[in-house]
Amino acid sequence: MKLGEITNNFFKENQAKLEQNYPGINLNKIKCELYELLTPHFLDTHEFFYSPYVSIANHPINIFFLALSKGTPLEYISGKKYFYESEFLVSPDVLIPRNETEILVEKAIEELKMWYKKTDEVLKVCDIGTGSGCIPISILRGFGKPLKVLATDISNEALKIAQKNNFNLRYSYPVVSECRFKCMDLLEGSEDQFHLITSNPPYIKEESDEKLIHQQVFEYEPHLALFIKDKIYDDWFFKLFQDVHRSLYKEGVFIMEGHEHHLKKLEAISHKLNWTNTEIINDYCDRNRFLILRK
C-alpha cells in the first residue's frame, strides 16, 4: 500500500481522537508533518558522505545523480529557491525566481510606504503572472502591514504552486492580510481597482531572442513563462498596459520587469495609451530591467 493511502486510512480511523488531541488538525497537516519528519533537516555531512551506500533504483540519491547528469536545474531537483528572505517551492510548472526580481519587490514596497502615508484604506495590490507567487508573498512580508492582494496567472498549475507557497509562508506576514489567487489572462474581465500592480511577465521574443537563451533555461523552464511570439509582442504589451491602466486607482503605480533590449520600445508603447509619467530602472548588471508607469 502507498504511504498516502496508509495516511488517509490512519486519519479516517483515528479522526475523532486526533481532533481531540490536536485542535485544528486535518489530513493535509498530518501529511505535511510526516513529510517534514522524513526529510532530514540536519545531517553530519562527514557521516553522510562516509556512510556505505548500496545503489537502489529510485532511491533519492540515484534520482539526484540522474537529474544532475541530465542538466536539470538544481532548484527543480531540490524543489526550492530562496528569494527575498523566504524559501519558495518551485516545480517545472513555474519559473525559478531570479535574484534581480527582488529589486522589483523592493521598489513595490517603497511605493506602498508612500501610499500608506496618503490614505487610511487597506492598500490593494495585484501581481500579474505570479508563477511561484514569489513577488506578492515577498511584498506582503516586506511591507509588514495588512494588504489585500490578488495574484493572477494564466496557468492553473503555476497557481497551485503559488497557493502552496502562500500556505507555507502565511505566518511571515500580518494575519489580517488577504492573498487571493485567480486564473486569468492578464486582467481580462476584472473590475477590481488597485493602488499598485506588479508583473514579471514573459518577455523574451520567441523567434528573435531564442538564441540568447541558455540551453538549460530553454529545456527546463515553462515556455509560457518565458516567451511571447514576435508578431504579437507589441500588441500583447499594449493590451497589458491597457488592462493595468483600467485597473489602477488615480495615482496608482505599475512596476514591470522586462527585457533589456525591448523596454524602451515598451515605454514608447505606454505613451500611446496616455501614460506620461514613466521611468526605466536598471538591474544589478546595469541593464535596463524595470519599467515604472504612474497613472
Ligand X SMILES: C[S@@+](CC[C@H](N)C(=O)[O-])C[C@H]1O[C@@H](n2cnc3c(N)ncnc32)[C@H](O)[C@@H]1O
Question: Which residues in this chain contact ligand X in the complex, by CB under 6 A?
Answer: 94-95, 97, 101, 128-132, 134-135, 152-155, 158, 185-186, 200-202, 224-225
Taking the complex as a whole, the smallest distance from the CB of residue 113 to ligand X amounts, in Å, to: 21
Closest listed residue to residue 29, CA positions, set 9, 7, 13:
7
Taking the complex as a whole, the smallest distance from the CB of residue 188 to ligand X amounts, in Å, to: 8
Taking the complex as a whole, the smallest distance from the CB of residue 84 to ligand X amounts, in Å, to: 11
Taking the complex as a whole, the smallest distance from the CB of residue 239 to ligand X amounts, in Å, to: 9
Taking the complex as a whole, the smallest distance from the CB of residue 259 to ligand X amounts, in Å, to: 11
- Whose Cβ is closer to ligand X: residue 101's or residue 166's? 101
Task: Output 261-269 pairs: Cβ under 8 A, ≥24 positions apart.
Answer: 261/209, 262/203, 262/205, 262/233, 263/288, 263/289, 263/290, 263/291, 264/288, 265/234, 266/237, 266/291, 267/291, 269/234, 269/237, 269/238, 269/241
Q: How far is CA 106 from CA 2, 80, 100, 226, in A?
A: 44, 21, 10, 23
- Whose Cβ is closer to ligand X: residue 43's or residue 107's? 107
Taking the complex as a whole, the smallest distance from the CB of residue 225 to ligand X amounts, in Å, to: 4
Q: Where are the beta strands (DSSP E) in the chain?
A: 80-83, 86-89, 123-128, 147-153, 178-183, 194-199, 204-205, 227-228, 248-257, 277-282, 288-294
- Could you report how far apart the first and last alpha carbons of the chain are, in Å? 58
- Whose Cβ is closer to ligand X: residue 27's or residue 281's? 281
- Whose Cβ is closer to ligand X: residue 155's or residue 247's? 155
% helix, strand, coil for the chain, step of 5: 45, 20, 35
- Whose Cβ is closer to ligand X: residue 15's or residue 208's? 208
Helix 27-38 with 3-21: angle, nearest 10 deg: 120
- Whose Cβ is closer to ligand X: residue 13's or residue 207's? 207
Taking the complex as a whole, the smallest distance from the CB of residue 272 to ligand X amounts, in Å, to: 20
Q: Which residue has the cell 509588514?
A: 144
Cell of 28: 493535509
- Whose Cβ is closer to ligand X: residue 224's or residue 293's? 224
Taking the complex as a whole, the smallest distance from the CB of residue 90 to ligand X amounts, in Å, to: 9
Measured CA to CA, the distance from residue 110 to residue 36 in angstroms comes to: 36
Q: 187 with 242: CB under 8 angstroms?
A: no
How many Cα neighbours within 13 Å face the side chain of 65? Answer: 7
- Whose Cβ is closer to ligand X: residue 153's or residue 283's? 153
